[in-house]
Amino acid sequence: MTVTSLIAQCVMCYRTAAAQQGERARVLNNGIVILLIPPMLAIGGLLFLAWWKGRAAPNTGSLTPRTAPQPE
């Protein structure tokens, strides 16, 4: 992706920020970052829980290959 296409992803936000004064544009950018924090925390929490459960799971041996029975 080019810089132009990255800017164009949110045209409404880009044009709103461009039409505002410097301070209002900064506040808008801070608001976007603040709205991004809860989803990132949720994704991070889910990834942590998946890692924690995977680390704490007992080794059942279900993924190990079976050996042929030994002849008597």
pLDDT of residue 38: 92
- Compute the C-alpha angle 5/6/9, nearest 5°: 85
Burial of 25: CB neighbours in 10 Å, binned 0-12, 13-18, 19+: middle
pLDDT of residue 72: 66
3-class DSSP assignment, residue 49: helix
Instruction: Give dist(CA 14, CA 72) in Å, integer.
Output: 77
Give the pair of three-digit tokens for residue 28: 């808008």
pLDDT tens, position by position, 11-58? 777 777 778 788 887 888 788 888 889 999 999 999 999 988 888 666
Say how far residue 72 (Cα) sits from the centre of its chain.
55
| Model confidence, pTM | 0.50
